[in-house]
Amino acid sequence: MQYSTALSDGVLALACLICVVQLGKRYAGAQPEQRPRWFCILLGFALPAAAAAVGAVRFGLLPELGELHGWLSRASSFLGLPLLGLAALSLGRNWQWQGPTWGRLLLGLCAFFELFRQLDRLDEYRLFLQLSSLLLLLYGGLLRWPQRRPLVLALGASGLLVFAGLVVGTDGFLGPVRRIDLFHALLTPAYPLLAWLMIDLTDTQSRANTL
């Protein structure tokens, strides 16, 4: 058992769950044409919340949940974060994508995952997809300039995610600390920053549409 990892995963799950609850209120109050985007945003937070919650149980109580934990972690990487990047792009550009468009994007991400899995190039595809998603988040924040907060939020969240994924990683130790625990510790503030970014982009879009 890795109780420190169970704890760090549990804290991450709680942070993501709080984001889901707050964003769920936005979904409930959104116009019907905006709900597909909010559904995809919620999915982008629900997947890491589920992965972290299962991880906490896996590392603390039930190691046999490793396969489910791995599946949810992959879904978070290959589907959750790209959906948040696409949501930031649509909000930043004031694009009102309808439900069928979001459905095609979801199916496209699933299809590309299966394609690169068959080609045995998932690692390369994961890196490309995550970097592209982070660039879309930054671009969405930059489109709100001269308003600084969206860009600052995008920079903060992207910086934490890049440092966690490319510098820290999940294997081995960094001094006395497990790298996976530090990885979770960096993701814990990153997801609330992403939630704040989604809300801020939505609010600034609404203000722009009323001018």
Q: Is the distance from CB of 20 to CB of 43 less than 8 angstroms?
A: no
Residue 50: give the domain boundaries.
Answer: 3-210
Residue 178, beta-bridge partner list: 173
Cβ-in-10-Å burial (0-12, 13-18, 19+) of 152 comes to middle
* Rounded distance between C-alpha atoms, residue 87 and residue 93, angstroms: 10
Overall number of domains in the chain: 1
| CATH number for the domain that contains residue 192 | 1.20.1070
Cβ-in-10-Å burial (0-12, 13-18, 19+) of 98 comes to exposed
pLDDT tens sequence for the chain (211 residues): 899 999 999 999 999 999 999 999 999 999 999 999 999 999 999 999 999 999 999 999 999 999 999 999 999 999 999 999 999 999 999 999 999 999 999 999 999 999 999 999 999 999 999 999 999 999 999 999 899 999 999 999 999 999 999 999 999 998 899 999 999 999 999 999 999 999 999 987 655 554 4
Calculate the CA dihedral of residues 152, 171, 72, 122 and round it to 10 degrees: 90
Please report, for the chain, how many H helices and E strands are present, in that order: 8, 2
* The predicted structure's pLDDT at residue 123: 94
* Rounded distance between C-alpha atoms, residue 32 and residue 96, angstroms: 12
Cβ-in-10-Å burial (0-12, 13-18, 19+) of 47 comes to buried
* The predicted structure's pLDDT at residue 1: 80
Give per-residue pLDDT as tens, 101-155: 999 999 999 999 999 999 999 999 999 999 999 999 999 999 998 999 999 999 9
Sign of CA dihedral 164, 52, 200, 100: positive
Q: Please, what is the end-to-end C-alpha distance for the chain in angstroms?
A: 57
